[in-house]
């Protein structure tokens, strides 16, 4: 526990973090990634270039400073960080690197008039407190996953045993342990970490598990991103029998047990975690409304599979919305962007429901607003980002 003086000093820096937090974390990442090449592969460079990761860290640091007297308020944020760290295999030895760079960045960005010895000392103590919390929680999860049936520690070799094209842009990859042993169970909505070596360079990425684990295989479904390093490698290079390394499943965007009607809303490749959620929910009798938006029929993945499930599960209703009609694919239920009236028609009448949604950021901002306007309680409306978290406005 920090002493009262350190807490007061950290809180006094809140206004500086509100106005300059992003500049600080941008500077921090640039310095750290240049000076410590050993941590570079852990980070997705696209999230640095877009500014999403510096923004997410700036928000994390600001929230920590604001709530330094009431850390229990940070539960959701801390859970998100821990899950992301676990899926990318962040280890205790990485923390001193981040800590020293962060303190140097505070000194160099704010200047020594503001970042006095007292301020730097208070932030050093505060960083250590948070690092200890994260290291402890992450260590407990690593141990738990190593000891569980089918579990493991660190990277485990898997082989590609099957690949299926699901649309013009999305391909599924079925992965099985090279040792043929059992695999760790997971909760629908979770994702794995993938470690690859492409052109001699190490890369790590997260992919949602797009099917309930069958036997000893995991399935991920990957969209080919224009100029994306890993997605194009998987689509173009990875052949049956090839190896890749996996970190254990993780994630807090999970289907919770409930009897309320379930609404799953996805845009594009955001469909992946909702597939495992759909499969899981249909093991019970709860009503499920599955709403999927795609650019057009050619890029709409898993349509036949969802249609097939609806044939055998009367509790499932599905609705498809295409931004454009390509004139070739089977028709959608609506053409254009998802609007309020359309969504309201497709929701169950009873708005005391559980909604889960995922897709491009702009799409998620609209869905969040629309669900609220439709009367769905905000805390029953859950979402995740395929990248660092940001504010949906
Ligand atoms: C929890 C989670 C779950 C996910 N689940 C899935 C899933 O189920 N399916 C799926 O397909 N994806 C998923 N993702 C996204 C996935 O992790 C990758 O981000 C995605 O595949 C793109 O990776 P890439 O290496 O192909 O592209 P990257 O190389 O990371 O590039 C992404 C984009 O950024 C651009 N870019 C890269 N570097 C720069 C730069 N320096 N300057 C400017 N632009 C740049 C690229 O041109 C490209 O358009 C998930 C992400 C998370 C966090
Ligand atoms: C107290 C220390 C730390 C804090 C407060 C912190 C905070 C965060 C936050 C807020 C995110 C974004 C989570 C999300 O929105 O999904 C994140 C992601 C991440 N963190 Fe940390 N972190 C800390 C330490 C570390 C360390 C020591 C490392 C390893 C060097 C690390 C590596 C990562 C990586 C690789 C990601 C994902 C980045 C990406 O998507 O490109 N973090 N962290």
Ligand 2 centre to CA of 80 (Å) is 10
Is the model's pLDDT at 301 over the cut of 90? yes
Residues 12 and 143 in one domain: yes
Domain end, chosen from 225, 250, 275, is at 250
| Pairwise CA distance, residues 162 & 270, whole Å | 22
Answer for the pair 213, 166: CB distance below 8 angstroms, yes or no: no
What confidence score (pLDDT) does residue 329 get? 81
Residues 228 and 361 in one domain: no
For residue 86, give every residue at least 6 positions away whose Cβ sits within 8 Å of its Cβ, in sequence order, or none: 138, 141, 142, 145, 247, 248, 250
Residues 93 and 24 in one domain: yes
What confidence score (pLDDT) does residue 103 get? 97
What confidence score (pLDDT) does residue 214 get? 75
Answer for the pair 87, 251: CB distance below 8 angstroms, yes or no: yes
What confidence score (pLDDT) does residue 393 get? 77
Tens digits of per-residue pLDDT, 223-239? 999 999 999 999 999 99
Mean pLDDT of all residues belonging to the chain: 96
Ligand 1 centre to CA of 46 (Å) is 7
- Domain count of the fold of the chain: 3
Residues 8 and 142 in one domain: yes
Residues 354 and 318 in one domain: yes
Integer angstrom CA distances of residue 349 from 261, 315, 337, 343, 376: 10, 14, 22, 11, 11
Within the chain, strands assigned E span 156-165, 170-177, 191-198, 201-208, 218-223, 243-250, 262-267, 288-294, 316-322, 334-335, 354-358, 381-383
Q: Is residue 389 part of a domain?
A: no
Residues 19 and 140 in one domain: yes
Residues 240 and 283 in one domain: no
Task: Take residue 342 and report the two structure tokens written for it.
Answer: 């359309």
Residues 114 and 162 in one domain: no
Report residue 98's pLDDT band, with 50, 70 and 90 as the boundaries: very high
Ligand 1 centre to CA of 260 (Å) is 34
Residues 10 and 142 in one domain: yes
Write out the residue range of the structural domain in which residue 273 sits.
Answer: 262-383
Residues 138 and 232 in one domain: no
Residues with CB under 6 A from ligand 2: 39, 42-44, 47, 53, 56-57, 60, 80-81, 84-85, 88, 90, 94-95, 97-98, 127, 130-131, 134, 387-389
Mean pLDDT of all residues in 21-50: 96
Tens digits of per-residue pLDDT, 323-359? 998 888 889 999 999 999 999 999 999 999 999 999 9
Residues 239 and 325 in one domain: no
118 noted as active-site residue: no
Q: Is residue 256 part of a domain?
A: no
| Pairwise CA distance, residues 372 & 374, whole Å | 5
Report residue 20's pLDDT band, with 50, 70 and 90 as the boundaries: very high
Span between the terminal Cα atoms of the chain, in Å: 35
Report residue 113's pLDDT band, with 50, 70 and 90 as the boundaries: very high
Q: Looking at residue 79, which CATH number applies to its domain?
A: 1.10.490.10
Percent of the chain at pLDDT exceeding 90: 96
pTM, two decimals, is 0.96
Residue in 138, 166, 169, 384 annotated catalytic = 138
95 noted as active-site residue: yes
Integer angstrom CA distances of residue 194 from 162, 176, 208, 350: 17, 13, 11, 40
Residues 181 and 246 in one domain: yes
Q: Looking at residue 183, which CATH number applies to its domain?
A: 2.40.30.10
Task: Compute how many other C-beta atoms are within 10 angstroms of the C-beta atom of residue 99.
Answer: 16
What confidence score (pLDDT) does residue 386 get? 97
Mean pLDDT of all residues in 243-264: 96
């Amino acid at each position: 526990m920090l002493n009262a003086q350190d807490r007061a000093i950290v809180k006094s820096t809140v206004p500086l973090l509100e106005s300059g937090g992003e500049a600080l974390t941008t500077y921090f990442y640039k310095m750290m990634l240049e000076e410590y090449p050993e941590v570079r592969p852990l980070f997705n460079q696209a999230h640095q270039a877009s500014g999403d990761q510096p923004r997410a860290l700036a928000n994390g640091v600001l929230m920590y400073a604001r709530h330094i007297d009431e850390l229990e308020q940070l539960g959701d944020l801390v859970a998100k960080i821990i899950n992301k760290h676990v899926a990318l295999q962040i280890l205790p030895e990485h923390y001193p690197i981040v800590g020293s760079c962060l303190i140097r960045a505070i000194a160099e960005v704010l200047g020594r008039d503001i970042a006095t010895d007292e301020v730097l000392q208070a932030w050093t103590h505060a960083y250590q407190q948070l690092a200890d919390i994260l290291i402890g929680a992450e260590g407990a999860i690593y141990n738990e996953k190593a000891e569980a049936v089918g579990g493991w520690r660190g990277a485990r070799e898997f082989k590609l045993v099957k690949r299926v094209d699901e649309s013009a842009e999305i391909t599924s990859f079925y992965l099985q342990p090279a040792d043929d042993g059992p695999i760790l169970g997971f909760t629908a909505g979770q994702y794995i970490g993938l470690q690859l070596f492409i052109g001699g360079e190490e890369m790590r990425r997260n992919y949602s598990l797009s099917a309930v684990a069958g036997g000893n295989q995991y399935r991920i479904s990957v969209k080919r991103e224009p100029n994306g390093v890993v997605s194009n490698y998987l689509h173009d290079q990875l052949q049956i029998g090839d190896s890749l390394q996996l970190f254990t499943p993780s994630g807090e965007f999970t289907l919770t047990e409930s009897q309320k009607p379930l609404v799953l809303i996805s845009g594009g490749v955001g469909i992946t975690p909702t597939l495992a959620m759909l499969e899981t929910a249909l093991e019970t009798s709860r009503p499920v409304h599955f709403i999927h938006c795609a650019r057009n029929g050619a890029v709409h993945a898993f349509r036949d599979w969802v249609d097939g499930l609806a044939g055998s599960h009367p509790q499932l209703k599905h609705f498809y919305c295409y931004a454009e009609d390509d004139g070739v694919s089977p028709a959608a239920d609506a053409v254009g962007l998802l609007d309020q009236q359309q969504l309201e028609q497709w929701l169950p009448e009873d708005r005391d429901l559980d909604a889960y949604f995922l897709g491009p950021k702009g799409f998620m901002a609209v869905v969040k607003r629309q669900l609220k306007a439709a009367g769905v309680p905000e805390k029953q409306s859950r979402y995740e980002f395929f990248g660092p978290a940001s504010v949906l406005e």
